[in-house]
Structure 1
C-alpha cells in the first residue's frame, strides 16, 4: 500500500457485519485530521465505510487460518492482527472506537497508560525492530506457549489444552491475556515501557465515564488537555441507548460529528434532553 500524507497512516480490523455509526464516526475523525485510514476486514465482503477510509482483506497482512485462529473470537484476532500489522507496515493501529481529537504525529512508539495505570493497546505503534513486538510474535507463534503473565492456576489450566489451542485457552480464562496484559508484561520485560504516553494523550476519560461524551450538559471538556490526541470511547461500555439515539446537541460527540461533517440525521431523536 502506498500513502501520500506526511502523517502516519492508521489502520484497524473489523470482524463481522456492518459497523455502527460510532465506529464510522471514529474512522471518519482520523480521515478528517489528515490521516490515511485503512479498515481491514475478515468477512467475504467489505463493510461500508465513511469517505476517506479504504478497506482491505485481513489476508493482505496476516492469514489467521494456518495458525489455527480462523474461528477465534474477534477481539483475540484483533490482538494478534495488530502485531503483524506493525511488523509488516508503518501504520499505526487504532481500535475502531478511538476518536481523533488532533492529528497523530509520526513516531516510533505510540501507546499509553489509562487513568488506572494500566497499559492499553487501543492505539499502538512499535518499530519493526522493537524487542517487545518481535518477542510477542515469537511467543504467540509457538503452539505450546503458556503465557507467563498469568497466575499459576491459570497457567495450569492452559497447560491442559492441546498445543495450538493454548493461546485461545488463555484468552478464554482472562480476556486481556493476549492483549493489554501481554503488551504490558513484554514492554516492561524488554525495557520499552518508558515510551508509554500519559493517560491524557489517548485515555483522558475512564470507560465508566463515557456517558459525559453524549450529554449536552457536559460541554466544558475540562478533561481534555493540550496533549490529547484521541479519546477512547470504550465501545463495550457505551450504553445501548446512546448507540441507538442521536447524541444531545452540544455534547462532545455531537460537536465532533458537526465539526468533521459526519451525518447523524439517520439516528432517532432522544425523547428528552437538550435536542
Structure 2
C-alpha cells in the first residue's frame, strides 16, 4: 500500500547490522497500514529493509559521537535519539518491534501505559513545545546529570561515577532509567501524564506473555479491542526458538504476516498439530 499523505510518518533507529524478521515484519506492518516509514541507522551502510521503508543516516537528526555518546549501548542511543527526533520533526517514534494493527492518528500525543500501569515509550510522540520533551532534552544534554527518579542507593553510585560518565552509569545500573522511567517521572511532574493512553492501545499483552502470539492454539485474540492501534512484541523477551522458527499456523503472528503478505518461508518449519 502506498503511504498516505493524511497519516503521520513513523520512524525508528537501527544500531548494528541486519534486522531480524520480527523487526522487518513490524516495519512492514506500518507500511501496509499506509504510513511512510523511515529507519534511521548509525552504520556506514544502511541495513536491508522491507519494501516501502526509507533509510536515513541517524546523524541527520542527532550524532551520538559529536554529542559525546559514541560508546553508549544501542538501547541508550535509542532512548536519546527519539527525543531529538521528536524535537526536530513531526514524526512518531516507534520501536522496531511494534506491530501496527490500525493506522496511528495524527494527534499531538502518542504514549501509553503497560498493563502494570508503568509508562512505555515504544510508541512516542510529544509536541515540540512539550514541557516533558524539553525538560528531558535539557537534562540529558548534561553528562553529569543524576536522574532524580533513581532510588537513593543508585543515585549515590551514579554520583560517584567517573566525571563525564554519570549519565551512562545511570543507564548501565538501570537499563530503563533513560527511557520508560524518565518518561514516567517527567510526564507526572509536568502534568502531561493526562495524555497517556490505556494499555489496550499499544501494550495489550505483557512482555512475559508474548509466547501466545506464536501459538496456533491461541486464536481468539480476546486481548485486542477496537482501540488497539499497535502491539508491542517485546523482541528482547521473545524466545530464541520463536526467532528462528516459523510461527505456528493460525497464530496471531502468522495471521498478521498473511494479512500484510509478509513472506515467512525462509524460517525453519516446525511440526505442529494444526498443520
1:263 equivalenced with 2:263 (yes/no): yes
The SS at the match of 2:49 is: coil
TM-score by length of 1: 0.97
Structure 1 residue 147, shift from structure 2 partner: 0.6
1:75 equivalenced with 2:66 (yes/no): no
Partner of 2:230: 230
Partner of 1:47: 47
Q: How does 1:1-275 map onto structure 2 within 5 Å?
A: 5-275=5-275
Contact 1:61–1:85 (8 Å) recurs in 2:
yes
Structure 1 residue 4, shift from structure 2 partner: 6.0
Structure 1 residue 160, shift from structure 2 partner: 1.4
* Structure 1, gaps ≥5 residues long: none
The SS at the match of 2:38 is: strand
TM-score by length of 2: 0.97
Paired with 1:4 and 1:240, the residues of 2 have a C-alpha distance of: 35
Contact 1:248–1:273 (8 Å) recurs in 2:
no
* Structure 2, gaps ≥5 residues long: none
Contact 1:92–1:123 (8 Å) recurs in 2:
yes
Paired with 1:143 and 1:94, the residues of 2 have a C-alpha distance of: 26
Structure 1 residue 66, shift from structure 2 partner: 1.9
Contact 2:4–2:35 (8 Å) recurs in 1:
no
Shift >4 Å, 4+ stretches: none
The SS at the match of 1:138 is: helix
Cα RMSD for the two superposed structures: 1.0
